[in-house]
Amino acid sequence: MESFTSHLLELPPEILEAVLLALPPSSSRLAAVSCVCRRLHFVSIPLLYRSVALRSPEHGKQFCWTVRHGADVIPHVRELQIHYHETDDESDDCPEDLYPVFTQLVNLESLVVRSDWFDPKTASRTSLISGPQEVLPNLRCCNLGYDYYCDGFWALDPYQALFYHSGLRKFAITGAKVQARWQYLPTQKAAPRSTQLEELQFLNCDIPSFELQEMLQYPRALKHFTLKGETPIQGSHGPRIGEPDRMNYINALHPHSSSLETLDLDLYREWEWPVKLHGFTALKQLTITPRMLIGDDPEGRPRAAAVPRWEDVLPSGLEKLVFRNDEPELPLLGIYETVRDGFLPHLRLFTCEVPSNRTDDSMVRAYECTDGIPSAQAFARLGVQFSLVQVPDSTEMPENKAYPCQCWIYRHRPDDKYAW
């Protein structure tokens, strides 16, 4: 054993690192290896702290102690995940308590904060709000989500300065309320079309269209956008989601119509007028409910019989179309005829997602295109693969499979009569 260890230690550092990377992923194994000797400690510490996941406030305090007393750890942290769930109600512990420490992580590339408690006062006092570019210059991906609700949402204000970060590529936000506070941010605004943000995701957020327009003026070329699952708002005329004129959200996206490649929209209820997306020339993948494209009549019923010309609604460059169904009828015949007539020449995949608890005979009949021909067969003749997929009411969010957590499950459409 002594001879083997001595030969192992004679290997160059890059070979030793490759050997350690070949071990089954385990922080406890790497921690044990780091205690063997000084040389293995030198090689294993960068691997051990490359990706850090904090599962509780106690883990957070231990990590803070390590950073404060071991400065050699700081440059190695590339990914930090904070998951505080089901914390003690009498405790004031929150992820924002860690800010004085993790804002020292100058090489941090990915930040995930998922918690059931949010402290806006602490967050507003951190250096992250005044200079995210200077504090975390290498940040490329950020995912924020809280289960703590104040009037249904948590305030995004302390984090809005992240939209000025020139190097951030992906920003995902869950359950936030976005308000007009841009003029109060203690930092200099980014120049229009100057940041590298490529992917922006909003789940169950309360966001007015003019706020979205403000955010989207900074990215140079947005490629992927998701906005779905808004929480119902009680008003004088009953439940309603967002603004009455939903086309405002589409108009806010128009500055990126020549760069946007994937679009996932689900602004459900009271979508009165059809939505036209044909101006999005770069769009390759679209996920949407047909009701958004078709519109509703004044009584709130879908205009299934009064479908507009699909070539005036859908962009001709689409390669994948996904219909998220919330009605017992889908306009398959219209899509079939549009493809047949050559208006969607690049379409290769057409998927209809239906809730797993709705598979009655009327829905099955809805998937016949014309003359009783099954949809899969009819579309196959046109070179399009058609599939009917049953989806549960909760879906897994694929942000990080390496650290399974309850917060990576996203429940679609809460408290809605169309809920899955």
CATH number for the domain including 164? 3.80.10
Mark whether 39 and 62 lie in a shared domain.
Answer: no
Position with higher pLDDT, 10 vs 321: 321
Over residues 61-97, the pLDDT tens digits come to 989 888 888 767 888 899 999 998 876 655 667 888 8
Is the pLDDT confidence value at 239 over 60?
no
Contact predicate 47/30, CB 8 Å = yes
Mark whether 310 and 299 lie in a shared domain.
Answer: yes
Among 151, 165, 101, 156, which residue's Cα sits nearest to residue 123?
156
Position with higher pLDDT, 322 vs 411: 322
What tokens appear for 363 in the block? 């829905």
Is the pLDDT confidence value at 233 over 50?
no
Mark whether 83 and 69 lie in a shared domain.
Answer: yes
Lowest mean pLDDT among 11-25, 41-55, 149-163: 11-25
Is the pLDDT confidence value at 417 over 80?
no
Is the pLDDT confidence value at 258 over 90?
yes
If one counts the domains in the chain, the total is: 3
Mean pLDDT, residues 42-61: 84
Mark whether 278 and 420 lie in a shared domain.
Answer: yes
CB neighbour list of residue 372: distance below 8 Å, 6 or more residues apart: none
Is the pLDDT confidence value at 226 over 80?
yes
Mark whether 374 and 344 lie in a shared domain.
Answer: yes
Q: How many beta carbons lie within 10 A of that of residue 51, not counting itself?
A: 18
For the stretch 246-250, contacts whose Cβ atoms lie closer than 8 Å and that sit 24 or more positions apart, written own/partner, are 246/271, 246/273, 246/275, 246/292, 247/273, 247/275, 248/209, 248/210, 249/209, 249/212, 250/275, 250/276, 250/277
Mark whether 165 and 258 lie in a shared domain.
Answer: no
Mark whether 205 and 69 lie in a shared domain.
Answer: yes
User: Which pLDDT score is estimated for 237?
Assistant: 35
User: Which pLDDT score is estimated for 274?
Assistant: 73
Mark whether 170 and 280 lie in a shared domain.
Answer: no
Select the highest-mean-pLDDT range: 233-242, 273-282, 341-350: 341-350
Is the pLDDT confidence value at 401 over 80?
no
Mark whether 247 and 168 lie in a shared domain.
Answer: no
User: Which pLDDT score is estimated for 103?
Assistant: 83
Q: Of 192, 220, 248, at which residue does a domain stop?
A: 220
Q: How confident is the model at residue 127 (pLDDT cuts 50, 70, 90)?
A: low
Mark whether 33 and 80 lie in a shared domain.
Answer: no
Quote the domain boundaries for residue 8: 1-48
Residue % of the chain over a pLDDT of 70: 70
Residue that has been written with the tokens 């990590």 in this structure: 63
Mark whether 42 and 82 lie in a shared domain.
Answer: no
Q: How confident is the model at residue 160 (pLDDT cuts 50, 70, 90)?
A: confident
Is the pLDDT confidence value at 289 over 80?
yes
User: Which pLDDT score is estimated for 174?
Assistant: 87
User: Which pLDDT score is estimated for 152?
Assistant: 60
What tokens appear for 401 in the block? 């499979």
Q: Of 158, 189, 220, at which residue does a domain stop?
A: 220
Q: Of 33, 48, 63, at which residue does a domain stop?
A: 48
From CA 292, how far away is CA 249, in angstroms rounded?
Answer: 12
Q: How confident is the model at residue 241 (pLDDT cuts 50, 70, 90)?
A: very low
Mark whether 254 and 379 lie in a shared domain.
Answer: yes
